[in-house]
A and B are shown apart, each in its own frame.
Chain A
Amino acid sequence: MALLQIAEPGMSTAPHQHRLAVGIDLGTTNSLVATVRHGAPQVLADEQGRVLLPSIVRYLADGAAEIGHGAQHHQASDPRNTVVSVKRFMGRGVKDVAHVENLPYDFVDAPGMLRLRTVAGVKSPVEVSAEILKLLRERAEKSLGGSLVGAVITVPAYFDDAQRQATRDAARLAGLNVLRLLNEPTAAALAYGLDRAAEGVYAVYDLGGGTFDISILRLSQGVFKVLATGGDSALGGDDFDHRLYCWALEQANLSLLAPQDQRLLTVKARAAKEALSSRGATTLQARLSTGQWVNLSISAEAFAAMTQHLVAKTLEATRQALRDADLKAADVNGVVLVGGATRMPHVRKAVADLFGRPPLADIDPDQVVAIGAALQADLLAGNRSRDGADWLLLDVIPLSLGLETMGELVEHVIARNSPIPVTRAQEFTTFRDGQTAMAIHVVQGERELVGDCRSLARFELRGIPPMTAGAARVRVCFQVDADGLLSVTAREQTSGVEASVAVKPSYGLSDEDIARMLQESLAAVDADMRARMLREQQVEARRLLEATEAALAADGDLLAAGERASIVELLAGVRAATRASDADAVKAAVDALARGTEEFAERRMDRSIRAALAGRRVDDVLAK
C-alpha cells in the first residue's frame, strides 16, 4: 500500500477527498458559477473580480467567439453577430419568439429549434449557450485548480421539456457532466432555507431577464417539497425594456430602425429602467445612426403604469400556483425575491401587497440561484456525509404531459405539479381491423386541443400483428426523470411480438449531433483533450469499482454464489480495461458492469427501504 497517493484535485475517489463540483445559473441576461469551498458557498469571479458574466456571445469572421463583457461592448456596433438573451431561443422555433421583427438577427427557421446566421456560420441556440457554459467551466477549473466532476445547471421551473433538453445538450457540448437540471426557484429556496433553517410555506417569486417563475414550497426538517409551480417562460425584464423601447419609438416618432439603432435604443431603455429603480425620474438619450437625437424624460410612475400589465400577468400566475397548492396568500410564511427584475420598486410593491408581507431579498437576487445550485452540486457530488442528515429536494413538473387522441384532443397522462420522478402508463387500442401501426404524438401543456399545446415528439409503433379493431393493447409509458426530462416508450401487450420504441423529444439534439459538435470543437486541441477524456473515463471506472465493491461488502448476502461470481468477473473486466489506454474498452467494460449489477441495485434499494421502516409501523409509532 502506498502511503502517499498523489491525485489531481477533483479526480480522486478517496472517501474524504473533496470532489470539484459547481452550480451554474445560465441566465437570460447574466450567468454565474458558484461552488462550495471549505463548507461555504461562494460565487466565483473572473480575473477582474467580476462575478456576473453577461450572457452575450459575439461571433467573429475567423470563427472565434467573444463571450461576456467583450461581446457586450459590441452589441450595438455588431448586433447581427452579437447574440443576447439566447435563453429565450432555447427549444423554440421562430414563430414562438415574441417581437421577432424588433430583433436584429438573421433567423434561419429549422425543424424544432431556430438557428442564427452569423459571420461565423449558422449557430443553434444550444451552441451559443454552450459557449457561455464553456467559459464558466474554464473559470471554475482555473479558480479551483482541477477538472470538475460535474455541474448542477439551473433552469426556469416553467421550462418545458424542449427547453430543458436544449439546456442539457448545451451543457454536454460545453464538456460538462450534468449532475442535475435544477429549477431556479427551488435552488433559491435551498439557499434561503439552509441559511436560516426555515420551516413552513415559502413562495419564491423569480422574475429574471426573460423568464418568470413562481414556486410554492413547504420546508420541513430539511425536506424542500415543491407544492406547485407556475410562470411564463417568455416574460421577464426584457419585456419591461421592450415596453420602454416601444414608448420611446412612439414619443420620438420613429419607425423602422436600423439593427444597430434597435440595439442601441434597447440598451438605453434598459439603462433607464435600471435608473428608475433608485430614482423618481430619468432621461433616455441616444444618437441614432441617422444623426437624429432621441432625448426623452420619464418618471417612475409613468414607467410603472406602462408596465402594469406585465406585473399583473405575474400576479395571475402566482394566484394560480397558490390555488394549485390549495393555499391562500395568508398561509405563506415567507416570500423570496429572485432575479434582477425584482429590483423594480413597483414589482416589489405588487408582491408585498399580494402576500400582505414584505418580501425577503437579503441574499443578492442575482446570486441566490447560483448559490443554491452550488450547494446541491456539492451534495450530489458526494462531498457531504451520507448519514441522512442532509436536505432533500422534492420537485414537480410544471406542465401536463399527454397524447393526441381522436379529434385532435389531448389525453393528459401526467398532470402538472406531479412530483418527479414519475412513471405512468396508459393503454390504447387499434380502431381498424388489421391495423398494424399506430401514430403516437406526445404533447405538453394544459389545453385540451393538440394545436394549443407544445408538440414534443411524434413516432410510430409498427409491427403490431393484425387483429380485430380494439383487440390490440398498446401501452404507452411516460417517464419523467429527476431532471424533469421525458422519455416515452410504447409496447403492444397481447402478442408475443415485442414492438417497443424509445423517443427523445424532437427538439433535443441526438447523441450523434452532440458527438459531432464536440469533435468539431475539439479538433484544435485534439491530443490533450483525448488524453483528458481517457483519464476521466478511468476515474469514472475506478469510482464504479469502489462503489460496487462497497456494495458487495455491505449487501453481498443478497446474492447467490453464482450471481456474486459473475459480478466479480465483471469487476475484473473493468480493472483490466482501466490499465489499458483505450477509452472505448473502458466504456464497454463499465457498461457491462452497469448492466450486470442492475438487479443487485434493485434488491439493495428494497432492503434500504425496509431498513428505513424497520421494526415499527409508522402509523403505530404515531398513534397516541
Chain B
Amino acid sequence: MTNVPASPDYFELFGLTPRFALDLDALEIAYQRVQSRVHPDRHAAGTAADRRAAMHWAALANEAYRTLRDEGRRAAYLCELAGVPIDASSNTAMPASFLARQLEWREALAESRAQGRPVAELQAEVDEQRSETLRALAAALDCAQDRKHAAALVRQLMFIDRFRAELRAGGESRSAHSTQG
C-alpha cells in the first residue's frame, strides 16, 4: 500500500488557524478532543495495527501541543512552516543593542547574587522585554508576514528565556542548559 496520509501540520491537526495569536483554551480543547480519539487507551482492544497507529498519532498530538503551547516554539514553528529556518546554532548575529542589554542583565544578576540582593527588579525588566518581543513577533508573523524578522526575534526570545531560566534557578548551582527551539 502507498498513499499513507501525510502527517498534517500541527495547526491542521488541531483544526486551528495558523497564526501566532492563539487562544490557549481553544488549543487545550482541541488537544483533548484529538487525544480522546487517538490515545492508545482508546484502541487497547483494537488490532496490533490500530495500536501502532494510535501510538504514532498520540505522540504526534503531544508534540504538536508542546510546540503550539509555548510562544517561542510556536513562533519558530510558524517560521519553519513558511520555509524560514531559525538556525539558532549557526545564526548568532544579534543587534548590538540587544547584546549590550544581555551583558547588562548578566552583570546585574551576578552583582545581586554576590550581594545576596533580591532580583525582583531585574525580573520585572526581563519580563517586560519578553512581552515586548512577543508583541513584535505577533506583528511580524500575523500582520507584516515578515518571517525573516520573526526568525531574528525568535532567536532573541531564546536568549531571554534562557536568562529567565537562570533567574528562576535562583541559588541552585545549575548551569543553564540550552533548550531546543
For B38, list chain A residues within 8 Å (CB).
605, 608-609
Indicate whether B119 reaches chain A with its CB closer than 8 angstroms: no
Q: Are A599 and B37 in contact (CB under 8 A)?
A: no
**Which of A51-59, A76-84, A242-250, A415-423 lies at the interface?**
A415-423
Are B1 and A599 in contact, CB atoms less than 8 angstroms apart? yes
Within 8 A of A (CB), among B58-111: 58-60, 62-63, 65-66
A578-624 interface (Cβ within 8 A of B): 590-591, 593-595, 597-606, 608-609, 611-613, 616-623
Task: Give the distance in Å from the alpha carbon of A482 to the alpha carbon of B58 in the complex.
Answer: 9
CA distance A453 to B49 in the complex (A): 35
B26 contacts the other chain (CB 8 A): yes
| Chain A residues within an 8 Å CB radius of B32 | 223, 225, 392, 394
Cα-based distance from A601 to B53 in the complex (angstroms): 6
Shortest Cβ gap from A376 to chain B (Å): 8
Smallest distance from the beta carbon of A258 to chain B beta carbons, Å? Answer: 46
Query: If the complex has contacts A609-B34, A612-B37, A617-B17, are A599 and B48 also in contact, measured as CB distance less than 8 A?
Result: no
Q: Which residues of A contact B25 (CB under 8 A)?
A: 622
Query: A616 contacts B36, CB within 8 Å?
Result: no
Q: Type the 1/0 row for B22-62, where 1 means its CB is closer than 8 Å to any CB of A.
A: 11011001101111111111101111111011111111101
Once the chains bind, are A597 and B41 in contact (CB under 8 Å)? Answer: no
Contact between chains at A448 and B47 (CB < 8 Å): no
Contact residues of A between 346 and 403, Cβ < 8 Å to B:
376, 379-382, 386, 388, 392-394
Q: Is the CB of A599 within 8 A of B62?
A: no
**Do A605 and B65 form a contact, CB below 8 Å, given A392-B35, A597-B49?**
no
B52 neighbours in A (Cβ, 8 Å): 598, 601
Whether B63 and A609, one on each chain, are in contact in the complex, defined by CB atoms closer than 8 angstroms, is: no
**Which of B16, B29, B37, B59 interacts with A608 by CB under 8 Å?**
B37
User: Which residues of A are found within 8 Å of B58, using beta-carbon distances?
Assistant: 421, 482
| Chain B residues whose CB sits within 8 angstroms of the CB of A547 once the complex forms | 45-47, 50
Give the chain A neighbours of B175 by CB distance below 8 A.
448
A603 to B50, CA, bound (A): 10
A87 touches B (CB below 8 Å): no
B15 within 8 A of A: yes
Contact present for B16 and A594 (CB under 8 Å): no
Given A380-B44, A382-B44, A622-B25; A602-B56 close (CB under 8 Å): yes
Interface residues of A in 411-444 (CB under 8 A from B): 412, 418-424
Q: Is the CB of A599 within 8 A of B35?
A: no
Q: How many angstroms between the C-alpha atoms of A599 and B4 in the bound complex?
A: 6
Q: In the complex, A106→B56 CA distance in Å?
A: 45
User: Which residues on A sit within 8 Å (CB–CB) of B47?
Assistant: 544, 547-548, 551, 593-594, 597, 601
Chain A CB within 8 A of B20 CB: no
Given A424-B63, A622-B26, are A482 and B48 also a contact pair (CB < 8 Å)? no
Tell me the minimal C-beta distance from A402 to chain B in angstroms: 10
Please give me the residue from chain B that is nearest to A623 by CB atom: B23
Is B117 interfacial (CB-CB < 8 Å)? no
**Residue of B16, B33, B48, B49 contacting most chain A CB atoms (<10 Å):** B49
A559's nearest neighbour on chain B, judged by CB, is B1
Query: For residue A618, which residues in chain B have a CB less than 8 angstroms away from its CB?
Result: 14-16, 26, 29-30, 33
Which of B1, B55, B65 is in CB contact (< 8 Å) with A482? B55
A21–B17 Cα distance when bound, in Å, is: 43
How would residues 555 to 566 of chain A score, 1 for a CB under 8 Å from any chain B CB and 0 otherwise? Answer: 000001001000
CA distance A492 to B14 in the complex (A): 32
Are A419 and B5 closer than 8 Å at their CB atoms? no
Flag whether A109 is at the interface (Cβ < 8 A): no
Q: A612 and B33: CB pair below 8 A? A: yes
User: Are B39 and A598 touching (Cβ within 8 A)?
Assistant: no
- Contact between A617 and B5, CB atoms less than 8 A apart: no
Report chain B residues within 8 Å CB of A392. 32, 35-36, 39, 41-42
CB proximity to B under 8 Å, residues A46-69: none
For the complex, what is the distance from the CA of A50 to the CA of B166, rounded to whole Å? 54
A-chain residues with CB within 8 Å of residue B34 when the two chains form the complex: 609, 612-613
Which residues of B sit under 8 angstroms from A460, Cβ to Cβ? Answer: none
Complex Cα–Cα for A604 and B63 (A): 20
Q: Is B13 an interface residue (CB 8 A)?
A: yes
Task: Tell me the complex Cα distance, A464–B22, Å.
Answer: 44
* A260 in contact (CB, < 8 A): no
Residues of B134-164 contacting chain A, CB below 8 A: none
Q: A392-B36, A618-B33 are in contact. Are A419 and B49 (CB under 8 A)?
A: no
On whether the beta carbons of B40 and A482 are closer than 8 Å, the reply is: yes
Given contacts A412-B177, A547-B50, contact A418 B66 (CB under 8 A): yes
Contacts of B50 in A (CB 8 A): 547, 551, 601, 604-605
Inter-chain contacts of A597 with B (CB < 8 A): 47, 49
Residues A380 and B57 in contact, CB atoms below 8 Å apart: no
Beyond A481-B55, A618-B15, whether A448 also contacts B177 by CB under 8 A is yes
- How far is A186 from B178 in the complex, measured between Cα atoms in Å? 31
Q: Which residues from B are CB-within-8-Å of A388?
A: 36
Indicate with 1 or 0, residue by residue over A313-344, a CB within 8 angstroms of chain B CB atoms: 00000000000000000000000000000000
Closest CB in chain B relative to A431 CB, distance in Å: 16
A223-B32, A379-B41, A601-B50 as given contacts; A619 in contact with B4, CB under 8 Å: no
What is the minimal beta-carbon distance from B172 to any residue of chain A, in angstroms? 11
A180: Cβ under 8 A from any B Cβ? yes
CB nearest neighbor in B for A223:
B32
- Could you tell me the distance between the alpha carbons of A602 and B23 in the complex, rounded to whole angstroms? 29
Whether the pair A420, B46 counts as a contact (CB closer than 8 A) is: no
Question: Whole-angstrom distance from the CB of A79 to the nearest CB of chain B?
Answer: 41
Q: Which residues of A contact B63 (CB under 8 A)?
A: 422-424
Contacts of A136 in B (CB 8 A): none
Find chain A residues with CB under 8 A from B1 CB: 563, 599-600
In order of increasing CB-CB distance, the 6 nearest A-B pairs are A382-B45, A613-B15, A594-B48, A601-B49, A380-B44, A601-B53
In the assembled complex, 16 residue pairs joining A and B whose CB atoms fall closer than 8 Å, in A order, are A225-B32, A380-B44, A392-B35, A419-B62, A419-B65, A563-B1, A594-B47, A599-B4, A601-B47, A604-B53, A605-B57, A609-B34, A613-B15, A617-B15, A618-B15, A618-B33
* Chain A residues near B (Cβ < 8 Å): 179-180, 223, 225, 376, 379-382, 386, 388, 392-394, 412, 418-424, 448, 479, 481-482, 543-544, 547-548, 551, 560, 563, 590-591, 593-595, 597-606, 608-609, 611-613, 616-623
A618-B16, A618-B30 known; 9 other A-B pairs, CB under 8 Å?
A223-B35, A418-B66, A419-B65, A422-B59, A448-B175, A482-B55, A604-B50, A606-B5, A609-B34
Which B residues are closer than 8 A to A by beta carbons? 1, 3-5, 8, 13-17, 22-23, 25-26, 29-30, 32-42, 44-50, 52-60, 62-63, 65-66, 174-175, 177
